[in-house]
A and B are shown apart, each in its own frame.
Chain A
Amino acid sequence: MNTRTYLDNAATTPLDPEVFAAMLPYFQRKHGNASSLHEEGRQARKAVEDARRLIAEALSWDPEGIVFTSGATEADNLAIFGLARSRPDRRHIICSAIEHHAILHPCDWLEQQGYRITRIPVDTTGRVNPQSIADAIDDQTLLVSIMAGNNELGILEPIREIGELCRARSVLFHTDAVQAFGRVDLPTESTDLISLSAHKLHGPKGVGALAARPGMRLVPLVHGGGHERGVRSGTENVHGIVGFASACRLMVERRETLVERLSGFRKQLIDGVLRIPGTRLNGDRSGSLPHIANFSFAAIEGESLVMKLDERGIAASTGSACSSPNLEPSHVLQAIGVPIEMAHGSLRLSMGQQTTQADIDTLLRTLPGVVEDLRSISPFKLGDS
């Protein structure tokens, strides 16, 4: 029996057994290279193209525009650099201050090369005001990139409105939908590029896609044999792509019941955690992804909180400085103006399809004591700040 309580599904999700079963034949029996002419190759090609169609269907997208990648980091990079290289005349990019690093760091790099980057601030819940994007667009603007749902807070961005205003201004709009896909409706008709990742959907790690408008010119980041219509060379990750498509199909099929269940859990988490004194919800109760909730605890530090929970069998994560490789507190918590001492004491809880009522109960039973323990050795007492 698995006695662990895994509440870090925004980091990655366990592979669905059905997805695993769908992938299995492609490791050995159907091992062909999708570029080969023979039977084995044709079989692999068919699997890849079937997967492409399936994912396109889930997005109401033209399969021609789906480019398989090694994940969403590559998809985000391809959107930014691929477009920047194909339209070198436009040297201005707009993104939000709370994008994933897979967007922010490519933008930082371009900024060093002389690009103008506008990082749109967010309000205290993490929402972008579409008007501030409208105000930032000028005739140099290459791309607007705003994530659909934030991976730390769970907050949903008004991407329909943003996509429509970009369209009205003839500016391309990209959204990182890694956390939102399969959990909320995406306004794909008003979006030009979408990044997806399989491992956040109970699919395998190391595979994702960039959905681009067919015909859109993207200069490849990876040159070689001309795979993926020349946009992304490299022998297709057939088993990964098959797993990705299978995961997408299951997410779409199960979405309604899953979202209802997880939304109920999220509400319980918020109500239960906020009963602990000196606690705040980062983000918002409503207008959020159903599977992510983020909290801060006064007088304690998040890394030790995560480690204490881990000791009690609970996996969660934090945006605290001490947990990040660069030793900075999360840019997202900073951007929503979490008081700095509270930003150090953050905890992200995120659920998946395997999450049960027992997991929620375990967390809510364990957390108050753990917080109490850490507060008992902290120099700060509640009410200090």
Chain B
Amino acid sequence: MYNEQVMEHFREPRNHGKLARYSAVGKVGNILCGDVMWMYILVERAENGEDIIADISWETFGCTAAIATSSMVSVLAKGKTVDEAITITNSQVAAELGGLPAPKMHCSSLAADALNEAIHEYFIAEKRPIPATLEQRHERIARHRKELEDRYAGFLDQGDRKQQIKGLPGSPCC
């Protein structure tokens, strides 16, 4: 199912754990859905005045693809300027891993989203103007989160047995 590159990142994940010192953290996913990613970034100002992602790490609750994509995003973003890191896309993450099984493509979007959210938080903390693409993506992620929470609201109501039996709505969760 998974190719050897994906398995290699799963076996030997890069940059996992929580940074001792970090500038911002991006949190995406939903435990109800089976995937949660937290992406920590440490941003430092280079001599030429550019903001660099000097260090990055992540913590992930999720499947093999979720873990491998977290690892790959961290590799792609590390050492890049913040402006460069913003441009990392889902499809780039999946492509760098040599592709993911179709039902798991969602995981690659989660990993890129987590990075996006970390950078978004960094911009807010630094009170810097937020680039349009970053903001748009942030809004999309927030909308998606809201949708998920609404969709699972019934499930959380443990009093309603019937809801549980009917099962969760089919959704490309992970």
Contacts and interface: CB of A to CB of B under 8 A. Distances in A.
Given A304-B64, A340-B32, A379-B36, A327 B158 contact: no
Sorted nearest first, the 10 A-B pairs with minimum C-beta distance are A322-B63, A303-B63, A379-B59, A97-B165, A377-B16, A322-B174, A344-B34, A379-B38, A321-B34, A378-B61
Contacts of B34: 301, 320-322, 329, 344
B67 interface: yes
Interface residues of A, number: 31
B59 A326 contact: no
A171 interface: no
Contacts, number: 102
Contact of A379 (B2, B60, B168, B170): B60
Could you say which interface size class chain B belongs to?
35 or more
B13 A377 contact: yes
A377 B59 contact: yes
Contacts of B131: none
Interface string B22-60: 000001000111111110000000000000000000111
A301 B170 contact: no
A266 B155 CA distance: 32
A377 B17 contact: yes
Interface string B133-157: 0000000000000000000100110
B10 interface: yes
Contacts of B33: 321
14 contacts: A97-B165, A301-B61, A301-B174, A303-B63, A304-B10, A323-B63, A334-B167, A340-B152, A341-B31, A377-B59, A378-B59, A379-B27, A379-B36, A379-B37
A311 B168 contact: no
A341 B32 CA distance: 6
B157 to A, nearest CB: 12
B99 interface: no
B87 interface: no
A153 to B, nearest CB: 15
A376 B17 contact: yes
B164 A335 contact: yes
B172 interface: yes
Interface string A94-130: 0001000000000000000000000101000000000
Interface of B: 2, 7, 10-11, 13, 16-17, 27, 31-38, 58-67, 103-104, 152, 155-156, 158, 161, 164-165, 167-168, 170-174
Contacts of A363: none
Contact of B64 (A97, A303, A325): A303
Interface in A302-329: 303-304, 307, 311, 320-323, 325-329
Contacts of A97: 165
Nearest to A122: B165
Given A304-B67, A377-B13, A377-B67, A327 B164 contact: no
Nearest to B27: A379
Contacts of B164: 334-335, 337
Contacts of B63: 301, 303-304, 307, 320, 322-323
Contacts of A83: none
Given A299-B61, A323-B63, 11 more contacts: A119-B165, A301-B34, A303-B63, A304-B63, A304-B66, A320-B63, A327-B170, A328-B167, A329-B168, A379-B60, A379-B61
A335 B166 CA distance: 9
Most B CB contacts (10 A, CB to CB) among A299, A322, A329 go to A322
A66 interface: no
B152 to A, nearest CB: 8
Interface string A292-306: 000000011101100
B101 to A, nearest CB: 10
A49 to B, nearest CB: 42
B170 A328 contact: yes
